[in-house]
Amino acid sequence: MSVKNWVTRSAAIKWTADQSFQGGLSIELGPLGTGSWVNMPTTGPSGIGSGGVGVDAWLAYCSIANNWFAGSAVGDIAIRNTTGRILFGNSAAPFAVALSGGYLSVTYNAISATGVVNLGQADSRYQRSNLAVSSTATAGAITITAAQLAGGYFVDGGTQTAPFSVTTDTAANILAAMPNAAVGTAFKWRFINNDQGTGGATNVMTLVGGTGVAVDNTILPNPTLQKGQLGMYLFVFTDVTVGSEALTVYPVGAIANTVL
């Protein structure tokens, strides 16, 4: 069906039967001096999407509880995509926000060479919706798995007798644990030194990068965490090519004299 001339007055067009347009359908509204509006009924789960009715809702109305998502309520508006990411942006440049697999990725400005870090943006760049705290009672050197890094928090409750290192998983494993990460994607990770020993200021923790993970000390020094301190680190993906995965870790700082 082709309509070549504009309707110069306001009009209501309804499809009340199940009709398909095998050649494709393009609808353009306007030019109308008073603007245009697409009115969707709220008597059912109305929406615009793909994959058939009720599959992927590009924009949909929740007419009952748990429409589109578990936990949704009547009156909510839903966007759901089961076949890819949900991307947001306001230019043709790389997307500004992406939602995929429970991860929210928000583009942030690069860390400044002068040492200025925009924590408000960086902290939200790649945060999981289900942050988790991991812990160990191991004494001595510790290796942090990709899943433990993705969780966001790690507590060491071992009895340390000397300075010890904490080594990250490999860049390849970290990328595998964070689906759809891109160059510039970042996440923040915290380590709490809850040492049960008596060494105090001497049994300090130092972070070491695993294969493909580099710790950058040029902006802020890599802190040596004493007992009772919390260290914060920003992990940034610099290469997501299979076989050459790489991340850079920027120490953000340490909170001293934490009582645990």
Residue 92 lies in a domain: no
- Residue-wise pLDDT tens digits, 110-151: 443 333 333 333 333 344 445 677 878 778 888 999 989 988
Give me the mean pLDDT over the 96-116 stretch. Answer: 56
**Cα(55)–Cα(19) distance, rounded to whole angstroms?**
18
Residue 5 lies in a domain: no
Question: 211 lies in which domain range?
Answer: 126-255
Residues 249, 130, single domain; the answer is: yes
Residue 210 lies in a domain: yes
Q: What's the domain count of the chain?
A: 2
Residues 148, 216, single domain; the answer is: yes
**Residue 74, SS3?**
coil
Residue 61: burial class (beta carbons within 10 Å; 0-12, 13-18, 19+): buried
Residues 147, 214, single domain; the answer is: yes
Q: Tell me which of 1 and 139 has the higher pLDDT.
A: 139
Residue 170: pLDDT band with limits 50, 70, 90: very high
Residue 161 lies in a domain: yes
Residue 95: burial class (beta carbons within 10 Å; 0-12, 13-18, 19+): middle
Q: Which two tokens stand for residue 201?
A: 């200021």
Choosing from 22, 57, 78, the residue where a domain stops is 78
Q: Which of 7-16, 154-163, 207-216 is predicted most confidently?
A: 207-216
Residues 137, 226, single domain; the answer is: yes
Residues 68, 141, single domain; the answer is: no
The model carries a pTM of 0.56
Residue 192 lies in a domain: yes
Residues 71, 164, single domain; the answer is: no
Residues with Cβ < 8 Å from 175, sequence gap 6 or more? 181, 237, 240, 245
Does an H or E element contain 172, and which? helix 171-177
Residues 132, 62, single domain; the answer is: no
Residue 13 lies in a domain: no
Please check whether residue 64 is in contact with residue 55, taking contact to mean a CB–CB distance below 8 angstroms.
no
Please check whether residue 31 is in contact with residue 48, taking contact to mean a CB–CB distance below 8 angstroms.
no
**Cα(199)–Cα(159) distance, rounded to whole angstroms?**
9
Residues 140, 238, single domain; the answer is: yes
Residues 150, 239, single domain; the answer is: yes
Which residues sit opposite 118 in a β-bridge? none
pLDDT at 120: 34
- Residue-wise pLDDT tens digits, 211-239: 999 999 887 777 778 888 888 899 999 99
Q: Tell me which of 110 and 104 has the higher pLDDT.
A: 104
Choosing from 57, 78, 99, the residue where a domain stops is 78
Please give the angle made by the CA atoms of 120, 121 and 127, to the nearest 5 degrees: 100
Residue 11 lies in a domain: no
Residue 6 lies in a domain: no
